[in-house]
Amino acid sequence: MHFVKRFSLVLVSMFPLLSWGQQDPLLSQYMFNEVFYNPAVVGLDKSTYISAVHRSQWAGYSSSFDGKEGAPSTQMINFVMPLPKTFSGVGISLVRDKLGLATNFEAQVSISYKKELNNGSISFGLRPSLFLHALDFDKFRAVDPEDPLIEGFGRESQLKPDVGAGIFFNGSKFFAGVSVNHLLNPGFDFGIEGLNNTLKPSMILYSGYNYQYNKDIRLTPSVFVRSEFNTLSFDLGVLATYKETMWGGLSYRQQEALIFMLGYSFLEDKSLRLVYSFDLIIQAQEAKQPTSHEISLRKTLAFVAPGPPKVIRTPRFRFD
C-alpha cells in the first residue's frame, strides 16, 4: 500500500518510543508496589488495602518539534485482599501509562496460592489481564503530510488479553521473587497492513534482605532486575524503616538516575501511608529533563476476608 510504505518510515523513526511505551511502566517505588510486578505477592501481608500511584517521568519534558507532547506519566490503582484457606489473596490493578503518542490501559486480576515451609513460605501467582494499546495517528509526522490516505486514521486503539505469572519466597529475613509478564505475546496492528507492535514477554527479579539494625530501625537492601530476554537493566537500593512509621531510602537505576525516597504513616493505627520519591537523572540529561517524581498513597482497610467466623473468647463465655 502506498500509505503503508510512507507511513512505515514514520513508524520506524518512532519504534524506540513505542516499543518502550508499550512495556511495563517504570516505578522507583518498586518495593512498595510489588503486587503490580508479581501476582504471587498478593495477600502475603494479610491486610486489605487500596493504593494509588502517580509518576511523572522527566518532569517538564516536551517534544523538540512541536512542544506539545509532554513527559511520560503513569497512574495506578490497586486493591488487595487476603483470602482464607487455599488461596493467599486476590488483587485488582488498573494502570494508565502514557508515553508520547502512545497510551496504554491495563486491567489486571491477580490471585495467589501460598505454601508454608519450615523457614518461610513460597507462593505462586497468576494474573490474567486486558491490555488496551492506543495510538494518536493524527500527531505523527508523516513523510508526506498531504497524503490523502493519512486522513483515514485518527486515534486508534486495540484491546487484547494477556497473562502473567510469578513465584515468591518469603523467609524470616531473606525474600526473593521472579515473575514473567505478557506470556500471550499480544500484537497490535490497528488494521494497518505491515504494522505489528508486539508486547514482548518480560521478566522481573526482585530480591532483598531485612536486617534488624536495632529494635527501632530495619535496613532492607534490595535488587530489582528487568529483562525482555535480550536486554537487562537493574535498580540497587536500600530502605531504612523506623518503627514501621517512617521510611527513607536511596537507590541507583542503571545508567539513568539516583533516587531518594521518604515515607510516613499517618493516623493512630498507621493505616495511611504516604511515600514520595525523587529521581535525579545522572545520564543522558541532554535528551531528558533532570528530575522525575513519584508519589504513592496506601490505605489499609478494616475489612475481614470472607470465611468461617472467628472464635471469640472471654473469661466467662465463648461465642462461636
Confidence grade of residue 257 (pLDDT, cut at 50, 70, 90): very high
Of 144-153, 229-238, 279-288, the poorest mean pLDDT is in 144-153
Give tens-digit pLDDT for 132-148: 998 876 666 666 666 55
Domain that holds residue 131: 2-300
Of 19-28, 179-188, 255-264, the poorest mean pLDDT is in 19-28
Considering only residues 3 and 94, tell me which one the structure prediction assigns the higher pLDDT. 94
Q: Give the chain's domain count.
A: 1
Q: What is the mean pLDDT of the chain?
A: 83
Query: What CATH number is attached to the domain comprising 113?
Result: 2.40.160.40
Question: Does residue 313 belong to any structural domain of this protein?
Answer: no
**8 Å CB contact between 126 and 39:** yes
**4: pLDDT strictly greater than 80:** no
Question: Does residue 307 belong to any structural domain of this protein?
Answer: no
**254: pLDDT strictly greater than 80:** yes
Q: Smallest Cα–Cα separation from 164: which of 97, 91, 221?
A: 91
Considering only residues 1 and 74, tell me which one the structure prediction assigns the higher pLDDT. 74
The residue with cell 534482605 is: 209
Question: HEC string of the chain?
Answer: CHHHHHHHHHHHHHHHHHHHHCCCCCCCCHHHCHHHHCHHHCCCCCCEEEEEEEEECCCCCECCCCCCCECCEEEEEEEEEECCCCEEEEEEEEEEEEECCEEEEEEEEEEEEEEEECCEEEEEEEEEEEEEEEEEHHHCCCCCCCCHHHHHCCEEEEEEEEEEEEEEEEECCEEEEEEEECCCCCEECCCCCCCCEECCCEEEEEEEECEECCCCEEEEEEEEEEECCCCEEEEEEEEEEECCCEEEEEEEECCCEEEEEEEEEECCCCCEEEEEEEEEECCCHHHCCCEEEEEEEEEEECCCCCCCCCCEECCCCEEC
Question: What pLDDT, on a 0 to 100 scale, did the predictor assign at position 10?
Answer: 39
Question: What pLDDT, on a 0 to 100 scale, did the predictor assign at position 275?
Answer: 98
Considering only residues 211 and 45, tell me which one the structure prediction assigns the higher pLDDT. 211
Tell if the pTM clears 0.85, that is, is over it: no
Question: What pLDDT, on a 0 to 100 scale, did the predictor assign at position 111?
Answer: 96
Give tens-digit pLDDT for 75-106: 999 999 999 877 899 999 999 999 878 899 99
Question: Does residue 59 belong to any structural domain of this protein?
Answer: yes
**173: pLDDT strictly greater than 50:** yes
- Which cell goes with 256? 539513568
